[in-house]
Amino acid sequence: MKISEKYNQVRQATIDFCSHLEIEDYSIQVVQFASPAKWHLAHTTWFFETFILKNYVKEYTEYNSNFNFLFNSYYNNAGDRILQANRGNMSRPSIDKIFEYRAYVDANMQELLNGDSVKKIIDLVTLGLNHEQQHQELLITDVKYMLGHNPIFPEFNSGFNLVKDNNSSNEIVKIKGGTYKIGYQGKDFCYDNELGVHQVYAADFEINNHLVTNGEYIDFIESEAYTDFNLWLDEGWSWVKANNINSPMYWHKIKGKWHYYTLSGLLKVDENAILSHINYFEANAYAEWKGMRLPTEFEWEIAAQKLDWGKRWEWTNSAYLPYPNFTKENGALGEYNGKFMSSKMVLRGASVATSKNHSRPTYRNFFNPVERWQYTGIRLAK
Ligand SMILES: [Fe+2]
């Protein structure tokens, strides 16, 4: 597929998801970490304008000189910006203006992609498209957070229950100890944090090819695990106590039965379906309760071919750190992944909310251990 077609396809997928939103849904920011849909639509556009159009189109006229301040996310090299917590404070620019901004940038991008200098920018465009795909997943999880914290639990779309998948099998995979190569070795796109192929030693280990289900997790809850400090990491126990946590995000006990908010509305928890929306502390406590552990990110990658993956982002027991020989670009794009390599844990796999063609066995996702609004799950190892 030509890059110009690929560009249209990815950009359109963002718009398609938004077609289910009401106008009032676009601007709301319920919590700092979940951005408004309007901001995602503009920020992904800003990325192409800032890193491609402004650098590669002679005498490019930027759409609006305020937008760099409004829609820069975290790139210090790209200048000052509004606080993340203030992204929901902007009733203006209106959503119509943002769609106009997208159309303006898309028209300029198409001219560039169909011109002679396309070869020079192909890597940047590919990064921009992968960036947009990451934001497509964030759009889903941020919209779910907004609607799931609305007391009337509005349905986003009746056909969009993303938490109904079951495991396809129930086996234990045994891996022989030895030295294995870790990191991306292909020729297609990957992020800088997957590069720096290196050898890692793993001892013999076993890893489930399936993920923990809701029913299994209900057993954990009903064993009073949320009140047993022996199961929890200290930071996790403080989080449980400070926030009165007793179940995964979006779960509610109604008339003695567990329910959860899904994008198809409030439903009874399906005990056979795969668990979602737990943080690293809950994943770790569950593993402790089972007398098992979470896999390291290296064990996960070694076993990947034998695992059923792609339905949940799976917490690993690995801190998000640079691989040996990790290098980053100079300037703003060097800020993409590298500067977040502290205080975060690696998640492997991909989730039901991840865009198509945006996952691979070497992909390293990372979040703060406390976060659970992504479609996260638990795979056990020992
Ligand atoms: Fe971004």
Model confidence pLDDT, tens digit, residues 216-251? 999 999 999 999 999 999 999 999 999 999 999 999
Distance 41 CA to ligand 1 centre (A): 10
Cα(205) to ligand 1 centroid in Å equals: 36
Measured CA to CA, the distance from residue 8 to residue 47 in angstroms comes to 15
- pTM score over 0.85: yes
Find the 43 Cα to ligand 1 centroid distance in Å. 7
Average pLDDT over residues 49-76: 97
The model's confidence at residue 9, banded by pLDDT at 50, 70 and 90, is very high
- Radius of gyration from C-alpha coordinates of the chain: 21
Mean pLDDT of 188-198: 97
CA–centroid distance, 123 to ligand 1, in Å, is: 17
Q: What residues flank ion ligand 1 with Cβ within 5 A?
A: 73
Kindly give the distance from the C-alpha atom of residue 20 to the centroid of ligand 1, in angstroms, as a whole number.
Answer: 22
Q: How far is the CA of 124 from the centre of ligand 1 (A)?
A: 14
* Distance of CA 48 from the midpoint of ligand 1 (Å): 11
- Is the CB of residue 67 less than 8 Å from the CB of residue 151? no
Residues 170, 379, 212, 140: what is their CA dihedral angle, to the nearest 10 degrees? -120
**Residue 166: which of 18, 364, 311, 16 has the closest Cα?**
311
In 59-153, DSSP assigns E strands to: none
Is pLDDT of 117 > 90? no
CA of 131 to the centre of ligand 1 (A): 6
Rounded distance between C-alpha atoms, residue 244 and residue 282, angstroms: 13
The answer to whether 374 and 313 have CB atoms below 8 angstroms apart is yes
- Contacts of residue 303, defined as CB under 8 A and 6 or more positions apart, other chains included, come to 173, 175, 207, 295
Task: Output the CA 208–ligand 1 centroid distance in Å.
Answer: 33
Check whether 367 has a pLDDT greater than 90. Answer: yes
Reported as a pLDDT band with limits 50, 70 and 90, residue 99 is very high
Q: What is the pLDDT of residues 132-182, one digit of tens each?
A: 999 999 999 999 999 999 999 999 999 999 999 999 999 999 999 999 999
Q: How far is the CA of 46 from the centre of ligand 1 (A)?
A: 9
Distance 233 CA to ligand 1 centre (A): 31
Strand, helix or coil at 239? helix
For residue 9, the SS3 value is helix
**135 C-alpha to ligand 1 centroid (Å):** 6
Span 15-38, mean pLDDT?
97
User: From the CA of 112, how far away is ligand 1's center (Å)?
Assistant: 22
Cα(99) to ligand 1 centroid in Å equals 18
Tens of pLDDT, residues 145-154: 999 999 999 9
108 C-alpha to ligand 1 centroid (Å): 20
SS3 213: strand
**pLDDT tier, 128 (very low <50, low <70, confident <90, very high otherwise):** very high
Q: Name every residue whose Cβ is closer than 8 Å to that of residue 80 and which is 6 or more positions away in sequence.
A: 69, 72
Distance 128 CA to ligand 1 centre (A): 9
Q: To the nearest whole number, what is the mean pLDDT of the chain?
A: 97
CA of 134 to the centre of ligand 1 (A): 8
Q: Which residue has the tokens 């889903």?
A: 140
Cα of 373 from ligand 1 centre, angstroms: 17
The phi, psi pair for 157, rounded to 5°, reads -165, 130
